[in-house]
Amino acid sequence: MITDLKPLSKLWLPLMLLAIFAFPFVDTNPYHIDIMVTTGIFMLLALGLNVIVGYSGILNLGFAALFAFGAYTYALVNIHWHVPFWIGLWISGFATALFGILLACPALRLSGDYIAIVTLGAGEIVRITLNNLDTITGGPNGLLGIDHPSLWFPKYQFGVKSEPYYFLVFALVLGVIFFLKRLESSRLGRAWCALREDELAACFMGVSPVWAKLSAFAIGGFIAGLAGCVFAAKQGTVSPDSFDFVVSVMVLAMVVLGGIGNIGGVLLGALCLTLLPEFLRGFESYRMLLFGLAMILMMLFRPQGIAGLVRPQEKYTPKK
């Protein structure tokens, strides 16, 4: 039964990406396209967190801190030094990767619930710091007047329209998917897999847990920095309220719901959890209740996630 599903598991990811690309040509409603832009940003965040949680097995409950750092990095360099978006995109990515390494340093000797508590505390420290650094971050009011991306073709300027951001976000998603697919089969990807399955055994096989953990936080942070830069450029403003603990929980739920370590499943989880609140607007009073019930049912009946496949159990036959 599982072998019959293998061809479908290879086809459904390209088909889903093709449908996403064709969406703005089929549905021209600006509001729907804007929702899909938000979905693309959360897809980037879910892919970044999947590197940390899915590939290397490190539970991170403060991923919104990396998202916020990328957004504020672009906002600050754009407002104070007038750095354009296309350069700020790379600055945000690399700066957030460095920030991710700094966040990972205190947690290098920890594992399991302890590292989750450390990342949770780090996320809250970043949010509170952004709230209190009025002279730099604008405090609770945030930063205003962030420039939108600009092109050399006047006809295709970004401005406040959603269509250009739609193609920009999903171009970044495709680039990240290609990069992660290549990374999965690399030496670093195999080191992450060994670290996730058994850290002690990985150490005996020559894998450096310090190098593996730092690289996971750096690459996950780089992807979160890209998402934060696009978010800040699209909104034109950033404030600490956009990066609270709920964002970290939502992104983690996307990874778990879609299938930990599965790129296609992570994208599907981000798509479902971003669109689900829109479909449940008529049940606003019960929306979070229905969302929690759906997560509980998933954990009970399909804990491997929507796109996760159950590994076939090999029957043990004793040697004669």
Which range of 110-119, 182-191, 273-282 scores highest in mean pLDDT? It is 182-191
What is the 3 state secondary structure string of 122-190?
Answer: HHHHHHHHHHHCHHHHCHHHCEECCCCCCCCCHHHCCCCCCHHHHHHHHHHHHHHHHHHHHHHCCHHHH
CA distance 233 to 227: 10
The count of C-alpha atoms lying within 13 angstroms of the C-alpha of 289, restricted to the half-sphere facing its C-beta, is 4
Question: Per-residue pLDDT tens for 91-110?
Answer: 999 999 999 999 888 877 77
Q: Which residue(s) pair with 143 in the sheet?
A: 238
User: Which residue, 211, 207, 203, 228, is CA-closest to 88?
Assistant: 228
Question: Per-residue pLDDT tens for 109-138?
Answer: 777 788 888 899 999 999 999 999 999 999
The count of C-alpha atoms lying within 13 angstroms of the C-alpha of 124, restricted to the half-sphere facing its C-beta, is 7
Task: Give yes or no for a contact between 57 and 111, defined as CB atoms under 8 angstroms apart.
Answer: no
Host H or E run for residue 237: strand 237-238
Provide the token pair at 259: 């299938």
DSSP at 236? S
- Model confidence at 3, pLDDT cuts 50, 70, 90, reads very low
Longest Cα separation, the chain = 78
- Per-residue pLDDT, 155: 52
* Share of residues in the chain with pLDDT > 70 (%): 90
- Per-residue pLDDT, 91: 98
- Model confidence at 317, pLDDT cuts 50, 70, 90, reads very low
DSSP at 52? I
**pTM here?**
0.90
- Per-residue pLDDT, 115: 87
Provide the token pair at 26: 């089929």
Question: Per-residue pLDDT tens for 14-71?
Answer: 787 788 888 988 898 999 999 999 999 999 999 999 999 999 989 899 999 999 999 9
Torsion (CA) 267, 112, 224, 8 in degrees, nearest 10: -20
